[in-house]
């Protein structure tokens, strides 16, 4: 058996060392905890518009599918002085919760992706996203060759209304379509009417 004798000064030193160790462990744990939270929060707050997939995902959130293989990017400059037409254009952009007012005079990336579901034989519709330092600053739909610009909310609403109208007409068409054996039924009805009009003995 081993005996360990500690005098009062030695006991005080050991207690002080133990207290320091506990404080140090607590400080390290707290630092790791809060630093981890800060990293996670900053990662969540990152804009994340860095790839064509990110751009496609952005428009998917509004219900628009895109063809990523058609992605193209240009550099455009937001004018410092706006005329009425550009002010109206910015109002279209504001539908998606974005605003170009803070980017006057800035050069941004203009990404365009084909939206097949809204394109026709006569006109193609493109989803356009303006990006500044990996942050979405403007978004809208562009039709070519007409050049017509539409806000995302307006386009999404119109698309939903068109889908609802199509869904309403589909059952009506099914009801008006002849059922199986419908021709025989019509023929029987015609025969019955003939018998009523021209009874035979």
Give percent of the chain above pLDDT 90: 52
Task: Name residues whose C-beta falls within 8 Å of residue 110's C-beta, 6 or more positions apart in sequence.
Answer: 73, 74, 75, 76, 128, 129, 130
| pTM (2 d.p.) | 0.61
pLDDT-derived band at 180 (thresholds 50, 70, 90) equals: low
pLDDT of residue 186: 54
Assess whether the previous peptide bond of 119 is cis (omega < 30° from 0). no
pLDDT of residue 73: 95
pLDDT-derived band at 169 (thresholds 50, 70, 90) equals: confident
Q: 124: burial class by Cβ within 10 Å (0-12, 13-18, 19+)?
A: middle
Phi-psi region of 162 (alpha: psi -120 to 50; beta: other; left: phi over 0): alpha
Q: Which residue has the higher pLDDT, 24 or 101?
A: 101
pLDDT average, residue stretch 126-130: 97
CB 85 within 8 A of CB 124: no
CB 125 within 8 A of CB 140: no
**pLDDT at position 46 over 60:** no
Q: How far is residue 68's CA from residue 36's CA, in Å, rounded to a whole number?
A: 35
Q: Give the model confidence (pLDDT) of 61-83 as tens digits.
A: 999 999 999 999 999 999 999 99
pLDDT average, residue stretch 92-99: 94
Q: 61: burial class by Cβ within 10 Å (0-12, 13-18, 19+)?
A: exposed
């Amino acid at each position: 058996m081993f005996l360990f004798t500690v005098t009062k000064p030695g006991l005080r030193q050991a207690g002080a060392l133990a207290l320091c160790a506990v404080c140090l462990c607590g400080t390290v744990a707290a630092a790791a905890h809060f630093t981890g939270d800060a990293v996670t929060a900053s990662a969540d707050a990152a804009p994340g518009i860095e790839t064509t997939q990110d751009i496609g995902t952005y428009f998917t959130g509004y219900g628009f599918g895109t063809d990523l293989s058609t992605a193209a990017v240009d550099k455009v400059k937001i004018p410092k002085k706006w005329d009425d037409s550009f002010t109206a254009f910015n109002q279209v952009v504001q539908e998606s919760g974005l605003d170009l007012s803070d980017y006057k005079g800035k050069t941004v990336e203009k990404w365009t992706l084909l939206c097949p579901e809204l394109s026709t034989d006569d006109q193609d519709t493109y989803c356009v996203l303006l990006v500044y330092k990996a942050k979405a600053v403007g978004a809208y739909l562009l039709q070519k060759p007409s050049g017509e610009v539409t806000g995302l909310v307006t386009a999404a609403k119109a698309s939903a209304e068109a889908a609802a109208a199509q869904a309403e007409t589909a059952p009506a068409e099914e009801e008006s379509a002849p059922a199986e054996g419908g021709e025989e039924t019509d023929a029987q009805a015609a025969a019955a009417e003939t018998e009523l009009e021209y009874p035979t003995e």
